[in-house]
Structure 1
């Protein structure tokens, strides 16, 4: 495995990805102007505005087929308050990660490029501008600095400076988001989850059903505050039927907004290739009636065979009562009558509630073992992908293509672009795989499931990244670590330094081009295009979906991790990362405004997990810095850098004490004392309680028991119990 790559390969990779990004952004600016694509690129806006965005210009206009920057200006002007109003605090937290990265790595880029890069490059050499293009990247990294050089003091000062800058910016972000969360909790409308507790591990009785036991238990111990309960059942076949009914309802809702002349008659059998042509509104209305009949037949069967689970949602008359019950152990047996605050109705993971609570610990251990096995097994395809993507390997495997590969441009493209492209494709399968694994762990809410998936994906990507830098010498590295664990920082520093080019290419291939694919949404656009122009059918309702945190967040944090481990060793990496963070900041502001509709709202509970992972990145940066000084024969600088590890741990502990309670659902006694009681009194004084109780009666009703009403399908998952005043 070559340890160095000429800059020509890096320049070619950058040129390819820049051209792809510009092309995709230009296509997006054109496609989004077409009325037929509004339900893809303006899906969230259409749903918010009740379809008004579907009525775009339908006559020919040249400006509708020319690239423009209007969407960039619109996304840039979006304020924090508008983001919260449109998509909630979770989306704002995601954007604030980009803000932190732009601030931190922006400052690091200025110092790194204009101070450290010249120090690294001019180490005892005469500057020759013509020689830069043929130099390897090692010339711009700390590996070019002579062992024992006094110039390493600059790197030492930089390590301390950016460490304290990271502490400052992380503190500012944590405090800012904590204030936003407190404001969210204080000013928000009543939500069902504030009054409701999820009860699991209800003991089995030979005389009473689970529902009767719940009613007797809470009537006896909480007679003044207990309001009602809703049972949970094992059957989840309703999910597919309700999904189809929701899609049909959405189509009808938006078809009614269109004049009859704008609704193209179409066939609906055999993928739109056969059957008589019908008005889409008539067809969808008839289809919905058929689905309703199927749902009623299913309900009749369900009522006869329903199987109650030892799980229930119990609602109380006040927020304070629900908080007290959620934080109280109900019996002397810790695995019975387990209570916790309930997720909001749209956030409930009904399928996971069917998993036996007493077996969850065992299932999670098994899932953890499977995760470790998958991570280790993935080393093989990841290593092979990198090896197969090198010029030498391809010449061996494909001798007939030697002449083509010998062309300088082709050889440079293969060595610089192909490995990172293969790795980027391999990593596409990881988030769905980890989400599938996490589904077996029995988390009661979709949000918690996604948060846990984020952790798995991030750990997988980081572990594979470290394997990648050490590929080819893993056994030697392990043997050296076992013999002398003190060598770990030095070994990491040596391995990381040798693979700068891999991660630079990965930033451009997976990062830059990834944003272009994200905004163009080819997986939605291409099937829609084929459906309209080949099958002559069309979906009128919006394709709005939730921002996939389990996929977007770990990928962002992977590049944050790469930035931290290379910020001192290879500052030339930083400009590439700055492009990644700045483009991502604009792209996701646009997507939040136009594309993504939240499925759930956690009130910013993603941030503590993000903070923990950034602290891990800071810690790894400092370990690698300590190892780098050791490799460069500056033991005194390694010793002087060691206190940073203690400072990082102390800072992390302080942030946990100072801010974490605000983000824990059942650990905010002070907040519930000051806010919950006052809100309960406000409800009583303003005579709102009866309206709240009426909504609570159907908030957690098991979906298979719904008295189907199309007006209630597809509503907001975090709709308040009271309407806006």
Structure 2
């Protein structure tokens, strides 16, 4: 590939970005699109006032200024700590790659360009390999420049990583200590509750925690089987039970006459409330209700404690000698609970983990087909030898530049769009108990997948196509990696252009919500706005994309420094685009507390170590013993730095500290807020699809906020009569609250 092909790809992507950014600046001003581009502000009734004037149809950079001027405190208030961490990842990338671009452009790029004694062509017709480390001849004394640049990049990255890790660590602690009382701090999730034929799960939980955590146990709430399938199953079981009772009673009538059951009515579907006129009927109804409840509840429950410290200890201590029973975890936030996965039996989780690993590996193997095809397009000279009938078409200069410079990366990007939904599905099957844990697991899977397929598979398949051979042994892999990565660096440069710049333009345009809005308004003729306020920030797709580009930048910085300016432009545009989306579009429903930063830190360290290993292999191939010798201490120092950060900062992200939680407990006790917090715990974890009777834990245990019930049998019967009467009473239809679409109410004309 030559410079002209790279410029062709850059020109196409620049044109696409300019056109889409201009369209966005116009479309965001239209009142009909306010629900697309101001979903978060619309949900909080803070939509921008838009007048009917010519300015609506003229592109303007006002959104750029607004995104630039927004402070970190505003980002925290709008998007939570996860949004701040995401922006910090972009800021870190801008800083470190600005340093890398300066040092490599000044020091490394001239050495690469003049590395061989050759006559250079005009710059547009020069091959991109001339600007890579491949152009440096063996035994060159100028390889110290690459080693010095590697030192500067590594030291800068580690320094910035340390201060960012320390700052985010401090923000996380402040977020925990300064936030309002979080119900999850008082709650643990208990799974794998042992079953008993004598008592229900609810009674088992009460008995266990009342005995072993008597001083700190407050209350609990069972998790029930819900959903459409479970409802159909329960209805079918109920109908079978009714039909069986009818058949038994008819048989008894025909054999013994109507005197067999005194007072038995002819209507077999009579409600149970009519049978409560006698003590026998009351007792039977009470037992039947508990049997029915026992069928619906699961071996899982949320257990509430009187203090945050007690919940912390209960969550991290093994409850019994059998680690497969009474498994406890820290409870997620109420809006973060993934209810369907909580009902999964705990013993199935290890099987699900194995299944997802096998499925992910199989998906990676299937993905080798499009990656190999893409690599064939990047090396047309080798492809023409294998497929001679393409020679005539590919001789055209424009076709050659378009195929080699733009088409391969576009095809790979299109195939990669199927990866995040598939990995999110695997994370659901895996059994994550919270939505944030599901997104975090999907983020790691997408990151591993893209790094493997975009980098390693492209490098090795490109080497195979280039040499028409495979590696002879595993020991040849480092040497082959040192040869193949510089050769494939030109493809990675075009990938940054196609996947990076174009993805930002598509992100800010919001094509799918925009298309849905157009269909709703102009085809289906719906007058009310189809609010898109349910959009949450897709961290599991955007974090891996940012980290992948950082990975490519670190590994190719000294090998192909021509990539760094394009990469720096991408990070700067991403900083503006994503800040705008956080402010205006996406709604924060739950927050993981900055759990994406350790992923970013580990990926950066891995990128630095791999870049040093590749540089070590290249220096060995170029027979530069001095550069190779100085790279080894750098590799050891990076590993030691990573180990220090793991010991110093990572534990804060894994668990809350007892010191902070005890201080928060003392503060709430002195202010007299504990009773208010206890009352709020009753209605915190409301399971969707479960009625108030079924979700209220003290109904089945005789326990109300940790106070033992002193009801007599007569009081219990009266309460039971009231419960069943309310259960059979028709319930009003609940209507979900929605924002008015009136433009006067929303402040949009």
Q: TM-score range by the shorter chain?
A: 0.7 to 0.9
- Relative to 1, partners in 2 of residues 1:395 and 1:122: Cα closer, same or farther, differing over 3 Å? closer
SS where residue 682 of structure 2 aligns? Answer: helix
Equivalence for 1:56: 50
1:351-407 deviation per Cα after TM superposition (whole angstroms, max 9, x unaligned): 111222122122212211221121122111221244357767998999999877544
Contact 1:198 1:311 in 2 (8 A): yes
* Deviation of the 1:304 alpha carbon: 7.3
Distance between the aligned counterparts of 1:639 and 1:239, measured in 2? 66
TM-score, scaled to structure 1: 0.83
Distance between the aligned counterparts of 1:192 and 1:55, measured in 2? 37
Distance between the aligned counterparts of 1:441 and 1:687, measured in 2? 42
Q: 2:94 aligns with which of 99, 102, 105?
A: 102
Equivalence for 2:22: 26
SS where residue 329 of structure 2 aligns? Answer: strand
- Relative to 1, partners in 2 of residues 1:397 and 1:709: Cα closer, same or farther, differing over 3 Å? farther
Q: 2:84 aligns with which of 87, 92, 104?
A: 92
Question: Which has the higher mean CA deviation after the structures are superposed, 456-465 or 427-436?
Answer: 456-465
Distance between the aligned counterparts of 2:193 and 2:464, measured in 1? 50
Distance between the aligned counterparts of 1:524 and 1:589, measured in 2? 19
Equivalence for 1:582: 572
Whether 1:217 and 2:202 are equivalent positions in the alignment is no
* Deviation of the 1:473 alpha carbon: 4.5
* Deviation of the 1:618 alpha carbon: 0.9
* Deviation of the 1:556 alpha carbon: 1.1
Distance between the aligned counterparts of 2:635 and 2:139, measured in 1? 23
* Deviation of the 1:474 alpha carbon: 4.8
Distance between the aligned counterparts of 1:482 and 1:176, measured in 2? 48
Distance between the aligned counterparts of 2:468 and 2:298, measured in 1? 48
Equivalence for 1:597: 587
1:60-104 deviation per Cα after TM superposition (whole angstroms, max 9, x unaligned): x11100000000000001111111011100010001011111010
Contact 1:238 1:704 in 2 (8 A): no
Equivalence for 2:686: 701
Whether 1:66 and 2:58 are equivalent positions in the alignment is yes
* Deviation of the 1:682 alpha carbon: 2.2
SS where residue 536 of structure 1 aligns? Answer: coil
Q: RMSD of aligned C-alpha atoms?
A: 2.9
* Deviation of the 1:623 alpha carbon: 0.6
Whether 1:361 and 2:350 are equivalent positions in the alignment is yes
- Relative to 1, partners in 2 of residues 1:92 and 1:235: Cα closer, same or farther, differing over 3 Å? same
- Relative to 1, partners in 2 of residues 1:75 and 1:56: Cα closer, same or farther, differing over 3 Å? same
Q: 1:140 aligns with which of 131, 134, 146?
A: 131
Distance between the aligned counterparts of 1:617 and 1:105, measured in 2? 13
Question: Which has the higher mean CA deviation after the structures are superposed, 355-364 or 90-99?
Answer: 355-364
Equivalence for 1:160: 151
Distance between the aligned counterparts of 1:709 and 1:133, measured in 2? 70
* Deviation of the 1:619 alpha carbon: 0.8
- Relative to 1, partners in 2 of residues 1:190 and 1:372: Cα closer, same or farther, differing over 3 Å? same
SS where residue 546 of structure 1 aligns? Answer: coil
SS where residue 189 of structure 1 aligns? Answer: coil
Contact 1:547 1:597 in 2 (8 A): yes
* Deviation of the 1:542 alpha carbon: 3.1
Equivalence for 2:745: none
- Relative to 1, partners in 2 of residues 1:650 and 1:476: Cα closer, same or farther, differing over 3 Å? farther
Distance between the aligned counterparts of 2:391 and 2:520, measured in 1? 43
Contact 1:238 1:703 in 2 (8 A): no
* Deviation of the 1:408 alpha carbon: 2.2
Contact 2:183 2:681 in 1 (8 A): yes
Question: Which has the higher mean CA deviation after the structures are superposed, 471-480 or 23-32?
Answer: 471-480
Equivalence for 1:612: 602
Whether 1:179 and 2:176 are equivalent positions in the alignment is no
* Deviation of the 1:411 alpha carbon: 2.5
Q: 1:672 aligns with which of 641, 644, 658?
A: 658
Query: How many positions carry a matched residue from both structures?
Result: 641
* Deviation of the 1:31 alpha carbon: 0.6
Distance between the aligned counterparts of 1:514 and 1:396, measured in 2? 34
Alignment of 1:112-261 (within 5 A): 112-125=104-117, 131-237=122-228
Q: 2:672 aligns with which of 687, 694, 701?
A: 687
Alignment of 1:310-709 (within 5 A): 310-387=299-376, 406-464=395-453, 465-471=455-461, 473-474=463-464, 483=473, 485=475, 487-540=476-529, 542-544=531-533, 545-665=535-655, 668=656, 671-673=657-659, 675-707=660-692
Distance between the aligned counterparts of 2:620 and 2:386, measured in 1? 40
Equivalence for 1:75: 67
SS where residue 313 of structure 1 aligns? Answer: strand
Distance between the aligned counterparts of 2:341 and 2:219, measured in 1? 23
Distance between the aligned counterparts of 2:125 and 2:295, measured in 1? 73
SS where residue 704 of structure 1 aligns? Answer: coil
Show structure 1 runs of 5+ residues with no match. Answer: 242-299, 716-725
Contact 2:463 2:484 in 1 (8 A): no
1:165-204 deviation per Cα after TM superposition (whole angstroms, max 9, x unaligned): 1111110110010011111111011011011000011111
Distance between the aligned counterparts of 1:238 and 1:20, measured in 2? 47
Distance between the aligned counterparts of 1:405 and 1:147, measured in 2? 34
SS where residue 304 of structure 2 aligns? Answer: strand
Contact 2:210 2:217 in 1 (8 A): yes
Whether 1:16 and 2:12 are equivalent positions in the alignment is yes
TM-score, scaled to structure 2: 0.81
Distance between the aligned counterparts of 1:683 and 1:571, measured in 2? 56
* Deviation of the 1:329 alpha carbon: 1.1
Distance between the aligned counterparts of 2:469 and 2:212, measured in 1? 61
Contact 1:236 1:350 in 2 (8 A): no
Distance between the aligned counterparts of 1:658 and 1:305, measured in 2? 47
* Deviation of the 1:643 alpha carbon: 2.2
* Deviation of the 1:429 alpha carbon: 0.4
* Deviation of the 1:639 alpha carbon: 3.1
Distance between the aligned counterparts of 2:642 and 2:631, measured in 1? 18
Distance between the aligned counterparts of 1:240 and 1:586, measured in 2? 47
Contact 1:547 1:598 in 2 (8 A): yes
- Relative to 1, partners in 2 of residues 1:81 and 1:714: Cα closer, same or farther, differing over 3 Å? farther
SS where residue 88 of structure 1 aligns? Answer: helix
Question: Which has the higher mean CA deviation after the structures are superposed, 372-381 or 186-195?
Answer: 372-381
